[in-house]
Structure 1
Amino acid sequence: MISRLNRVLDTFIGKIERAESLDPIADKLSAALSKPLSPAPMRSILSGTPVGHPAHPAMVLVPVGSWLSATYLDLVGGTDGECAARRLVAMGVVSAVPAALTGANDWMYTSGAERRVGLVHAAGNYFALGLYLGSWTARRRQRVGLGKALAAAGSVTVTLTGWLGGHLTYARGVGVDTTAFEVVPSEWTDVFSEADLQPDEPVLVHADGVPVMLVKSGDELLAIGDRCTHRGGPLHEGTFKDGCITCPWHGGTFRVSDGQVIEGPPSRSEQVFEVRIRYGSVQVRRADEPGVLRGNPVS
Structure 2
Amino acid sequence: MKHPLHPALVHFPVACWSLATVMDVAVWLGAAWPPQSFAAALLVGGLVLGLLAAAAGFWEFLNLPAGHPAEQDAQSHMALALCSWCLYAGSLFFRTSHSQLIPMTPIALLLSVLGFAVLLAAGWMGGRLVYGRGVGVTPQV
Q: Give TM class, smaller chain.
A: 0.7 to 0.9
Flag the structure with higher strand content.
Answer: 1
Please name the residue that 2:45 is paired with. 91
Please name the residue that 1:150 is paired with. 111
C-alpha distance in structure 1 between counterparts of 2:103 and 2:111, whole Å: 11
Q: Which runs of 5+ in 1 are unaligned?
A: 1-48, 183-299
How far the C-alpha of 1:166 sits from its partner, in A, is: 0.4
User: Which of 74-83 and 52-61 deviates more?
Assistant: 74-83
C-alpha distance in structure 2 between counterparts of 1:79 and 1:134, whole Å: 24
Runs of 4+ that moved beyond 4 A:
none
Aligned residues: 130
C-alpha distance in structure 2 between counterparts of 1:147 and 1:113, whole Å: 38
C-alpha distance in structure 1 between counterparts of 2:13 and 2:119, whole Å: 10
Q: Is 1:65–2:26 an aligned residue pair?
A: no
1:215-254 correspondence runs (5 A): none
Please name the residue that 1:136 is paired with. 92
Identity of aligned residues (%): 30
C-alpha distance in structure 2 between counterparts of 1:79 and 1:116, whole Å: 45
For 1:181-201, what per-residue CA distance to the aligned partner results, in whole angstroms no more than 9, with x for missing partners? Answer: x2xxxxxxxxxxxxxxxxxxx
Flag the structure with higher helix content.
Answer: 2
- Match 2:131 to one of 165, 170, 181: 170
How far the C-alpha of 1:83 sits from its partner, in A, is: 1.1
Please name the residue that 1:264 is paired with. none
Q: Which runs of 5+ in 2 are unaligned?
A: none
How far the C-alpha of 1:69 sits from its partner, in A, is: 0.4
C-alpha distance in structure 2 between counterparts of 1:130 and 1:143, whole Å: 20
- Amino acid in structure 2 at the alignment position of 1:58: A
How far the C-alpha of 1:96 sits from its partner, in A, is: 0.8
Please name the residue that 1:105 is paired with. 59
* Structure 1 vs Structure 2 CA RMSD: 1.5
C-alpha distance in structure 2 between counterparts of 1:131 and 1:167, whole Å: 23
C-alpha distance in structure 1 between counterparts of 2:33 and 2:92, whole Å: 17
Q: Is 1:123–2:79 an aligned residue pair?
A: yes
Q: State the TM-score, normalized to the length of structure 2.
A: 0.86
For 1:136-191, what per-residue CA distance to the aligned partner results, in whole angstroms no more than 9, with x for missing partners? Answer: 1111233612211101000000100100000000111100002x2x2xxxxxxxxx
Task: State the structure with bigger RCO (CA 8 A, min sep 6), 1 or 2.
Answer: 2
Matched residue SS, 2:95: helix
C-alpha distance in structure 2 between counterparts of 1:70 and 1:113, whole Å: 35
